[in-house]
A and B are shown apart, each in its own frame.
Chain A
Amino acid sequence: MTIRKSTAMIAAITMLAVGACAKKAPETLPPVPEGTGTDTGTDTGTGVIPGSQEDFIASVGAMGDRIFFGFDQYNVDSEDMATLQTQSQWLQRNPAVRVTLEGHADERGTRDYNIALGERRANAAKNYLASLGVDPSRISVISYGKERPAEIGSTEEAYARNRRAVTVIIGR
């Protein structure tokens, strides 16, 4: 029993590690800026216009505007949920703001399929935001497929950063 249990645990840990490796952007993301996020939606005194893209990034963090996906995947996992919850708090404080959810794929897919895959990813993010109470009519969706990589390169690290859904503020 003990042996079987520990084998199962090792397997589970391995799966977690592999899963994380396959899905997430690398750990070297820029640190979240501290002290710039305000929760009031009012002028921060830093010249940032409330409800702007700048304000959004200041609130959610430099990479807080996006969630990442595994290869050919479009499910929103717990880490993504946390990111989207932070976004939804800002969106609910700025109820007049409209956003576009951009879905993207890495370059290791065919063009048309990747547009469809980017649609899936953007809609997965949109649906989760809607489940948190963000009015879906505020959210438009566009897929860029593999047309607009965020990270240039043909490495697994670059692919992981490019399989993404990005929330972009488009105004009020």
Chain B
Amino acid sequence: MFLRPISLSLALLLTAAPVAAQTTTAPTPPAVAPTEPRETIEGTLSNERTVIAIPSLATSSVQTVAGLRTDSLGRQIAEVIAADLERSGLYEPVGPGGVRAITRAEVQAPRFADWQARNAENVVHGFVDASGTGGLVVGCYLYDTALGSELVRKGFEIQPSDWRRAAHKCADAIYSRLSGEAPFFDSRVAYIAESGPKGNRIKRLAIMDSDGGNHRFITNGQALAISPRFSPDYKKIVYVSYLNNRVRVFIYDIASGSQKLVTESGNATFAPRWSPDGTQILYSMAVGGNTDIYRIAANGGTPVRLTSTPGIDVGGSFSPDGRKIVFESDRSGSQQIYTMNIDGSNQQRISFGGGRAATPEWSPRGDLIAFTRMGGGEFRIGVMTPSGGGTRLLTNSWQDEAPTWSPNGRVIQFFRTTPGREGKSSLWQVDLTGVNLRRLPTPQDGSDPSWGPVLP
């Protein structure tokens, strides 16, 4: 995978004069997201989505690079940008279908009146050109149509096969500029693809972009695979395989296609998680029916036992600063959520009331913990603060399970199971308002999503 941010000042020199002199350098990184999660989004959700016109990206001259035509890519990249922004729930993209094409010269000199006439508050322009060295140069710009000002300028030199990443990077820049939130589209998801009869499901490790693009199966399904987690650098996946009829945590190396055991043990090991820096792995191990949580260096070594109460202590998720762990335990008589320090000290229950609470996941922003609430005959996705306050349930269905956070801590993916003999599992996402609920496209049924960080 190759994507290199470039300054677009050279590109500007080749074409029309810049519309705003102060924008010749790349925009500064987006402001740090506000700490109060609810206010920034809820005000704009209900029928007040910002209209953004997104015509197909222009090209200086139609060329074919690695079998891809620059004009076709201009259309496809605009489609991916529009889909990303639409899925965020904050924006109402118009185009690329149904809006007029732009010329290459228009990219830096938009005809603002045209887009205002379409009620667009913002317009996205861009270009796709052959780099001359077998790659592509993609540029994208965001403008305010009323002010006639440039808000975002991004340029990337990419391998042709990475064109979707350029689209996600553009969408991220637009989203960040307009919402004030950190980016999240240019990220990936590992999950379990499911097929076959319910009593004997085939479960395969699979990976894809955050929007379902670039889908790829990793394992062949001969051994049952569950609960994958991408390493923070996306090079490895830690997961549980039933290879040779045992329950064990493996680290799968994506580039080499090889995998290794995290720890040698005669006991079942499961529920693995990476530390935020990728150097440590949490896992659970059952010994004689009693399950506890352990931590081990990702490259091996001696495991450290973190819990020792009788009963089931399982799962776990690091805080983004790597100093605390949130996990679940039934030591009180039913599944509830606890936090502890990474050495296992200071174990404290944080979930109370309303049934059982399971599968806690610490937000990458640190401000919230997502979890599965079981009660009243339903499994629902909820969030609460790390001290257990402010619990809010975001979904309402028969069985929603296993939340995983977007890299910016604004969106949660999970899997939804429907009841009955023909019950299916599928991947969904919901934002923190609970209003913007979407199903993710996957070629087969899906479960156990794991959302990774934004790609560099």
Q: Are A113 and B289 in contact (CB under 8 A)?
A: no
Tell me if A166 is interfacial: C-beta within 8 Å of chain B. Answer: no
The answer to whether B419 and A154 have CB atoms under 8 Å apart is yes
Nearest B residue (CB) for A121: B289
B312 and A72 contacting across the interface, CB-CB below 8 Å = no
Whether A147 contacts B289 by the Cβ 8 Å rule is no
Cβ contacts B423-454/A at 8 Å (1 or 0 each) = 10000000000000000000000011000000
- A112 contacts which chain B residues (CB < 8 A)? 227, 270-271, 284, 314-315, 359
Q: Are A120 and B312 in contact (CB under 8 A)?
A: yes
Would A147 and B226 be within 8 Å (CB), given that A107-B417, A142-B245 are in contact?
yes
CA distance A113 to B312 in the complex (A): 7
Taking the closest CB of chain B, its distance from the CB of A41, in whole angstroms, is 26
Q: Residue A110 at the B interface, CB < 8 A?
A: yes
Chain A: interface residue total (CB-CB under 8 A): 31
**Do A142 and B246 touch (CB < 8 A)?**
yes
- Contact status B200-A111, CB under 8 Å: no
Which residues in A have their C-beta under 8 angstroms from that of B359?
Answer: 110, 112
Size band of the interface chain B makes with A: 35 or more
B268 contacts A142, C-beta separation under 8 Å: yes
Give the tally of cross-chain contacts (CB within 8 A).
92
Cβ of B132 < 8 Å from any Cβ of A? no
Tell me, in angstroms, the Cα distance from A117 to B358 when the chains sit together: 14
Among A100, A107, A124, A154, the residue within 8 A (CB) of B289 is A124
Within 8 A of B (CB), among A93-117: 100, 107-113, 115-117
Q: Could you write out 23 A-B pairs with CB less than 8 Å apart?
A: A108-B399, A110-B379, A111-B226, A111-B227, A111-B447, A112-B271, A112-B284, A112-B314, A113-B330, A113-B358, A115-B286, A115-B314, A116-B314, A119-B268, A119-B289, A124-B289, A144-B242, A147-B201, A147-B242, A149-B198, A152-B198, A153-B421, A154-B423
Residues of B within 8 A of A (CB): 197-201, 203, 224, 226-227, 242, 245-247, 268, 270-271, 284, 286, 288-291, 312, 314-315, 328, 330, 334-335, 358-359, 372, 374, 379, 399, 401-402, 417, 419-421, 423, 447-448
Given contacts A119-B289, A143-B286, A153-B420, 16 further A-B contacts (CB under 8 A): A100-B245, A111-B401, A112-B227, A112-B270, A113-B314, A113-B330, A115-B247, A115-B271, A116-B286, A119-B268, A123-B288, A143-B268, A147-B203, A147-B226, A148-B200, A154-B420
